[in-house]
Amino acid sequence: MILHVDMDAFYASVEERDRPELKGKPVIVGGTPGQRGVVAAANYEARKFGVHSAMPSSTAYRLCPQAIVLPCRMDHYAQVSHQIRDIFHRYTPLVEPLSLDEAFLDVTGSEALFGRSESIGHQVKDAIRQEISLIASVGVAPNKFLAKIASDLNKPDGFTVVSPLAIQEFLDPLPVERLWGVGRQTSKVFHGLGVRAIGQLRQLTPTLLKSHFGGHGEHLWELAHGIDPRPVVPDREAKSISHETTFAQDIDDQETLRAWLLELTEQVARRLRRHDLRGQTVEIKVRFADFRTITRSRKLSEATSGTSELWEAVNELLNTRVPGDRLPVRLLGMGVSDIDRSGVTQGQLFDQEDRGKQGKLDEVGDMLRERFGSQALRRGSALEHKARHLPKPNQ
């Protein structure tokens, strides 16, 4: 059985925990009223006014002018995330982080030690509450897709179990928009076919779905039947390390996309360094509003975990390999593959000094941001492109 653990309004919840006087007040993390930027996270009080992540900060402030707007302390959130993952690893070594605030856990082999998967889910949830003073929503299910849906159903503070014997009973009443990959355009096609619930989609044939959605139609048919064979893959065993984010609203501004890619790159770089890994092939993934998805990659001269080297490649891919006329964008991702686990860097003779400096900058930068906040030190590329530290939107 698989657990999906998703922290509720993670960044905003950390701020509320650290500053109890914020409780009960609308809180927005990221962006500055009157300046360019986007919302990194919003607590549930702010969401009542229509504020959501990835929204332009000017729009959020207009909707909720009484909101308390705080800078994004990304490295502090990363430290808290590390504490949460320490709890996960008490129960299973099979932990696959998706971002700082969510992860899959395969607890199948842990039931002999800790009890049934449902009990393990409660233990994880209780430990996070008692030791870190934060709230998580947990989904327990036979596979990753079902666990992800389950964790999202009763937020905040949710706990949902999907029995292997009741998968269709669980899925059928849900709207088709709950399926991965069903966005605004896809849902319009389904509505035109008279399909609004997953149970109705399940009655369609794979051939019909393929005629409307191409190869993606077969995947939707499998999801509607609760089929998802993907295993939980820990970082150290992964063939690639990546982060991606689906926006609450499509984004058609190139500089906002660049800002998101910078944050995704920094998250991936931190994960690589945390596990003493390096990657040689850099890839970006872009899904447009019409659901067309493209990937673009570049192989570096050698494997690296340096943020600057990864960002240089990512920025070049965005500038030269992604057609600007296909905007707006609904999903953005960044990852590295060709993972090197040796822990040994074979730098070229003349770039060793520069690599050493960049490595020290990463180390010192992490320390400074942890102590003084994420805006204390910013990369030149972030200043040039007005990029801000941004999280994934489903907080």
Contacts of 207 (CB under 8 A, 6+ apart): none
Q: Which CATH code is given to the segment(s) 235-384?
A: 3.30.1490.100
Class of domain 174-224 (CATH, top level) = mainly alpha
Q: Quote the pTM value.
A: 0.72
Put the strands of the sheet holding 136-141 in their side by side order: 95-99, 102-106, 2-7, 136-141, 159-161
Asked if 355 contacts 345 with a C-beta cutoff of 8 angstroms, the reply is yes
Class of domain 2-9+74-163 (CATH, top level) = alpha beta
Return the residue matching tokens 């049934």.
116
Task: Single out the catalytic residue among 16, 45, 96, 102.
Answer: 102
pLDDT for 186 equals 83
pLDDT for 53 equals 80
Rounded Cα distance between 7 and 10, Å, is: 5
Q: Which CATH code is given to the segment(s) 11-70?
A: 3.40.1170.60
Closest listed residue to residue 152, CA positions, set 14, 25, 9, 334: 9
Q: Could you tell me the two tokens for 356?
A: 């050493």
For 61, 123, 188, 232, the CA distances from 204, given in Å and listed in that order, are 44, 40, 16, 30
Domain ranges of the chain: 2-9+74-163, 11-70, 174-224, 235-384
> In which residue ranges of the chain is pLDDT below 50?
348-350, 369-370, 372-376, 379-395
Rounded Cα distance between 9 and 13, Å, is: 6
pLDDT for 52 equals 85
Return the residue matching tokens 């991606």.
244
Active site annotation includes 309: no
Domains 174-224 and 235-384 share a fold: no
Tell me the backbone φ, ψ of residue 182, rounded to 5 degrees. Answer: -100, 95
pLDDT for 32 equals 65
Rounded Cα distance between 287 and 330, Å, is: 6
**Sign of the CA dihedral running 336, 342, 347, 352:** positive
Instruction: Please tell me whether the peptide bond between 234 and the residue prior to it is cis, using omega within 30 degrees of 0.
Output: no
**Sign of the CA dihedral running 291, 297, 303, 306:** negative
